[in-house]
Amino acid sequence: MSVYHLAVSLGGSRTCKESSTHVVSAWHIPGGSNYEAAQVDTWFFDDEESARKVESTYSNPPEMALAFDITTYREITKRTQQIDAKLHAEASKLLNPR
């Protein structure tokens, strides 16, 4: 069973809902070997038990699933966006000197 199938069977959604309390982030590697096309899949759950089930089933490589609560997810997302904005501003200065 794939991460996708397990997540869906446990009520996971790729869309954050008002009722979402936990998140699982896991690598998706197309065909199991196309690492150049790999991307992170994010699944939202309404309960911790389902999120932890996905995490424990797929915690090893190549998926390396990690579960955390929605508050932590929002903090990580906010900080990542701030870092991305700073990096973009610095790159813009380097590429477009005045």
Parent domain of 64: 3-69
Residue 52: φ, ψ to 5°: -65, -30
Specify if 23 maps to a domain: yes
pLDDT bin (cut points 50, 70, 90) of residue 56 is very high
Q: What is d(CA 45, CA 76) in angstroms, rounded to the nearest whole number?
A: 17
Residue 12 lies in a domain: yes
Per-residue model confidence (pLDDT) at position 74:
94
75 within some domain: no
Is residue 98's pLDDT more than 80? Answer: no
How far apart CA 86 and CA 93 sit, in angstroms, is 11
Each residue's pLDDT tens digit, 64-79: 999 999 999 999 999 9
Detail the DSSP E strand segments found in 1-98. 22-28, 39-45, 66-69
CB proximity list for 98: less than 8 A, separation 6 or greater: none
Tell me, yes or no, whether 13 lies in a domain: yes
> Using 50, 70 and 90 to split pLDDT, how confident is the model at 40?
very high
Burial letters 9-39, b for 16+ CB under 10 A, else e: ebebeeeeeeebebbbbbbeeeeeeeeeeee
Number of domains in the chain: 1
Flag whether 22 is in a domain. yes
Is residue 93 included in any domain, yes or no? no
Give the pLDDT of residue 97.
80
